[in-house]
Amino acid sequence: MELTKTQLDAVELLFDDQLTHIAIAEQLGIDVRTLQRWQEIPAFAQELSDLHEHHRNWNRKRAVYAKAKLFGAILDRYSALNRLITERAKGADPDVPGDCTGLLLKKVINTKKGVIIEARVDHATLRELSRLESEIGRMLGEDKPLVVIDDKEMSKALRDTAVDESVQPTTGPILTRAARRRAQKRGNNKIATTQIPGQNRTLVYT
């Protein structure tokens, strides 16, 4: 059975679900009982069902597209941060332990006693990488989230491993007042300070 234009209009109004049956009947110029009888016609009911299914499919496609776009943006940001770490590692200072990882932030301070290199873990980048990894895992259906990196544990591990065969500790820290204030502001009570052999440079982990 082919539906009339009025019946097709009735299908669209019923699908919109903005008006009552009485209001729809008045707008179409029919009796509300006529509208009720139309709803019992198989072709009418099928047309309304197809419209609902088409709308559901469209919403699903839109949701998939939005999720794919978000996933792509997260992957791009994750790749960009990894590229940052890789590029930073290329210019690593061989006298700074851990610098080859690309995870350190360094600041060179010139003093009358020599050069002081302040080094600290780039916690902001590590936290963002950890967050993005957890988000990627969640979107891929991983039930167990990744462990979030702890700033204090990372800093302690860095200080504990700062001294190796090539870098030996000094008898006392050589820090400027500004460097000490910055370290105290970060809440670091213990500062690993090492003298670089053969050079008038002091390495400070804060």
CA distance 198 to 26: 96
Do 58 and 97 belong together in one domain? no
Q: Is residue 72 part of a domain?
A: no
User: 182: pLDDT confidence band, cut at 50, 70 and 90?
Assistant: low
CA 146 to chain centre: 13
Q: Which stretch of DSSP H or E encloses residue 136?
A: helix 123-139
Q: What's the mean pLDDT in 73-91?
A: 92
Do 102 and 171 belong together in one domain? yes
Do 99 and 191 belong together in one domain? yes
pLDDT of res. 51? 93
Residue 83 CA: distances (Å) to CA of 32, 91, 98, 124, 177: 67, 13, 17, 15, 35
Q: What's the mean pLDDT in 181-204?
A: 57
pTM: 0.56
Q: Is the pLDDT of residue 42 over 80?
A: yes
Do 172 and 100 belong together in one domain? yes
